[in-house]
Each structure stands twice: as structure tokens, then as C-alpha cells.
Structure 1
Amino acid sequence: MNKELARIIGVTAFRSSADMGHLVTLLKEHCSEEERKLYGIAIATAIATIQIEVLSKIFAEFPELQTDFDRQIKEYGRPF
């Protein structure tokens, strides 16, 4: 994989994780405690899987992308 493709995949993975994280708020507002726990665990598992199986592998191959991501997140709230 080249660096440009890795960046595209990384940004998409990050955004997918962030979007899934926003679902937790919806669960808290609109679901029972039992449903919140059930789906909350599933959402957390999906986010962790994206982090472990996609982002960590990209950052291991292209450490400079992690530096770029960290800087962009700090400055803009997300990578571009």
C-alpha cells in the first residue's frame, strides 16, 4: 500500500469510529438502560476493532501519518 492510499483509509476509519461514537449519545437519550448496554458494548467493540485492525496497522507502516493525524486532530478536531 502506498502512503496516499493509507491516508485515505486512515481518515475513513477515523471518521467511521467517530460517527459510531456519536451513537452512544443517541442510545443514552432514546433507549432503555438494557438496550444502551447491549448496543453500547457492540459499538465500543466495533470502534476498538477499527482502531486495532486498521489504524494501528496503517500507523505501524507509516508512523508519519500518525504524527500528521495527531496534529490535525489537535488543531482541527479531525484528520483531513
Structure 2
Amino acid sequence: MFENIKKQIKELAKNAVLKAEQELGSGKGQQKKKVAIDYVLKNLPIPEFMKMIVSVILSSFIDDSIELAVSYINSLSKMQGE
């Protein structure tokens, strides 16, 4: 069960990071991370009562997924010369 949820979290993390960057701009790392985490949890296709459980059990996985998404997006920006 959690493997499927982990896959969905990884997929949502990239969009979450982009959304947080659009909303808050550069800097404000901790605020953007919170926005990204909220986005991931809000958009996970699981029942609402499960979201709190998932947020506790997989909190470090969600954090890591968001950090990886940030690194990935930053590397794309560097490759494009921004």
C-alpha cells in the first residue's frame, strides 16, 4: 500500500515545489517547504482520514521527496542557463 503512495508523493513533489516557488518567490525556504508539503497531502488521492496517518508515517519520505524535487528543478534551471 505505501509503495503506491510513495510513488504518488514523488510525482506530486515536483508540482508542489513549482507551486510553492510561484506563490512565494525566491528565498523563504521553510515557508515554501510547508506549502509544498500541504500541496502533496491535499492532492494525494486517498481518503481524508488517511492523510493525517500518511503525513505522520511518511513525513521524512515526503520531506526527502520535496528536497529531491527542488534539486531536480534547480538542475534543470542551471541546464537552461537561468
Whether TM exceeds 0.5 here: the answer is no
Relative to total residues, which structure has the larger helix share, 1 or 2? 1
After TM superposition, the score normalised by the length of structure 2 is 0.37
The TM-score normalised by the length of structure 1 is 0.38
